[in-house]
Amino acid sequence: MKVFVTGATGAIGGHAVPALVQAGHTVSALARTPDKAAALAAHGAVPVSVSLFDSTALAAAFAGHDAVINLATAMPSTSQFVIRRAWRATERVRIDGSAAVVDAALQAGVGRVVQESVAMLYRDHGASWIDEDAPVDNYPATVGNHAAEASARRFAAAGGTRVTMRLGLFYGPGARHSEQMLALARRHLGLVLGPPDSYLSSIHVADAGTAVVAALHAPAGTFNIVDDDPMTKRDYSDALAAAADATPWIRLPGRVGLLLGDRLTSLTRSLRVSNARFRAATEWAPRYPSAREGWKATAAR
């Protein structure tokens, strides 16, 4: 297929683009700087300089493509994660950017749009498994993701095929927060995001990249993109510590994180998310079944 990728040099895009090329697809990708254009070209993609918010220019760039994969984001740094205004750029990308992408895809006659979203939209389900039919929640940090999913549904309502990918907490090479988390673990600081017996569903960025490839042939719909074995927050912290080869002396923030309210809701709730529907619909399977294997590989790299 001939595909266009936005967010192609981000944490997920940096793995998705080479995976798409390796799978035999012809890839064009949005590049905002000469350095990023060079990196994309090195992966075998054709860099295109265009604004994510200019639907007319995007339509011209999308012309002749079979699919558009929207992975664009502007996530704040880990140190600013709880600062509400730090999310404004991300919200603009997810709200206005996704709308422009869909407008352009419709104008260009693109048949399929793959939209990135997050599994953190689901309500807290304790130890119960969560599939795609589970109810979602609305809190301030979800505004952008709900808007992006709405844009994808609008594309489907106009006759296109849409695939929405709800990713778990991603980590691995290219995800800058991963380096920070490993650094903390190597200083014997254990990261426990909420109650230690609550669940966290994650996905290694390399597995997210291959899931993007699989989404090109998936049926229309919404799919959870997570690893096979969601872990409790304590087990996840232990897996990170084992990868860093450092026993945690202190575990933070734990239940104290609940005091930050909706600023950390996406990380402190319990989400035991299932990938069964996507695995059944495609030939995809994660290379790293859980964060135990994924963090070990990340630390080694």
Tell me: pLDDT of 259 over 70.
Answer: no
Asked if residue 89 is part of any domain, the answer here is yes
pLDDT of residue 179: 87
Structural domain harbouring 145: 2-175+203-227+272-288
pLDDT of residue 98: 97
Count of structural domains, the chain: 1
pLDDT of residue 139: 84
Whether the CB-CB separation of 227 and 203 falls below 8 Å is answered with yes
Work out the angle at residue 161's Cα, subtended by the Cα atoms of residues 158 and 162, and round it to the nearest 5 degrees: 100
pLDDT of residue 220: 98
Is the pLDDT higher at 266 or at 224?
A: 224
Asked if residue 267 is part of any domain, the answer here is no
Percentage, residues of the chain above pLDDT 70: 90
Give me the residues paired with residue 164 across strands: 115, 222
Asked if residue 154 is part of any domain, the answer here is yes
The whole-number average pLDDT for the span 284-299 is 97
Asked if residue 35 is part of any domain, the answer here is yes
The whole-number average pLDDT for the span 174-188 is 88
Residue 103 maps to which CATH number?
3.40.50.720
Asked if residue 234 is part of any domain, the answer here is no
pLDDT of residue 278: 98
**What are the tens digits of pLDDT across the range 12-69?**
999 999 999 999 999 999 998 999 999 999 999 999 999 999 999 999 999 999 999 9
Site of tokens 């190597």:
186
**What are the tens digits of pLDDT across the range 90-124?**
788 899 999 999 999 999 999 999 999 999 999 99
Beta strands in 108-180 (DSSP E): 112-118, 129-130, 161-167, 169-171
Asked if residue 124 is part of any domain, the answer here is yes
Asked if residue 51 is part of any domain, the answer here is yes
Asked if residue 22 is part of any domain, the answer here is yes
